[in-house]
């Protein structure tokens, strides 16, 4: 199967699946989302995502895995795919450019960083199926986590940050600053280990979330 044919199939599937999903959502909510609005959202996203995915040829449709990844991304994990596509493209374009070598057959849209330091180089990120900086330590795992958890992925991530953020703030205000004051601790707050991509006060909040602990624990080949 030629890459052109794979791209055309990717575009067609990217159009059909989101449109159907949004029309079903409109029907289930008894028109809370008007059908024409649902059609516009699903079709607009599907066209833009399909074109970008097709041009970069991200899905290897000569393999069963490639078909499975595409269908999951456009159905069970569609909320993550839409969120990542919109937010990722808006943010990452300031730090990098879509990379065909890093995206082709990899089932994600990967942006290659423009600089050798900072966001996209030292700090990588993956939102849905859109990535900045490449595979890194565990970015492919976040992609897998999103596909497994589907519509529960984003709520789980948000809830995790709320829990770890609350723990960090309460500890720092109630206990940490006293211990730091008497010299029992270097910092009033919990600090992440040196392997964490993010440091400082927020670093522990980020590192201690379950999905990041799993990512750092397993890493990437």
- Structure confidence by residue, pLDDT tens digits, 95-140: 999 999 999 999 999 999 988 777 888 889 999 999 999 887 789 9
Report the percent of the chain where pLDDT is more than 70: 99
- Structure confidence by residue, pLDDT tens digits, 142-163: 999 999 999 999 999 999 999 9
- State how far the Cα of 175 lies from the Cα of 113, in Å rounded to an integer: 41
- Structure confidence by residue, pLDDT tens digits, 29-43: 998 999 999 999 999
Question: What integer pLDDT is reported at residue 74 of this predicted model?
Answer: 98
Angle at 41 between CA 37 and CA 42, to 5 degrees: 115
Question: What integer pLDDT is reported at residue 31 of this predicted model?
Answer: 86
**pLDDT classification of 220: cutoffs 50, 70, 90:** low
Question: What integer pLDDT is reported at residue 123 of this predicted model?
Answer: 85
Q: Which residues contact 43 (CB under 8 A, 6 or more apart)?
A: 15, 18, 19
Report the percent of the chain where pLDDT is more than 90: 82
Name 123's bridge partners. Answer: 119
Name 96's bridge partners. Answer: 113
Residue 25 has pLDDT above 80, yes or no: yes
Residue 221 has pLDDT above 60, yes or no: no
Residue 205 has pLDDT above 80, yes or no: yes
Angle between helices 35-56 and 78-92 (to 10 degrees): 60
Please tell me the least confidently modeled range out of 36-50, 54-68, 190-204.
190-204
């Amino acid at each position: 199967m030629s890459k052109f044919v794979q791209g055309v199939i990717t575009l067609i599937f990217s159009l059909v699946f989101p449109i159907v999903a949004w029309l079903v959502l409109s029907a289930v909510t008894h028109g809370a989302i008007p059908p024409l609005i649902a059609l516009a959202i699903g079709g607009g996203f599907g066209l833009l995502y399909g074109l970008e995915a097709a041009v970069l040829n991200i899905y290897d449709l000569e393999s069963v895995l490639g078909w499975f990844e595409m269908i999951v991304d456009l159905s069970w994990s569609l909320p993550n795919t839409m969120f990542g596509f919109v937010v990722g493209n808006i943010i990452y374009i300031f730090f990098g450019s879509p990379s065909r070598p890093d995206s082709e057959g990899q089932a994600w849209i990967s942006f290659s960083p423009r600089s050798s330091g900072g966001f996209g180089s030292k700090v990588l990120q993956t939102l849905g199926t859109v990535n900045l900086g490449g595979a890194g330590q565990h970015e492919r795992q976040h992609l897998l986590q999103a596909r497994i958890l589907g519509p529960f992925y984003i709520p789980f991530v948000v809830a995790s940050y709320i829990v770890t953020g609350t723990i960090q703030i309460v500890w720092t205000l109630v206990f940490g600053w006293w211990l730091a004051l008497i010299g029992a601790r270097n910092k009033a707050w919990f600090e992440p280990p040196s392997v964490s991509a993010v440091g400082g006060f927020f670093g522990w909040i980020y590192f201690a979330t379950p999905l990041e602990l799993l990512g750092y624990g397993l890493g990437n080949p």
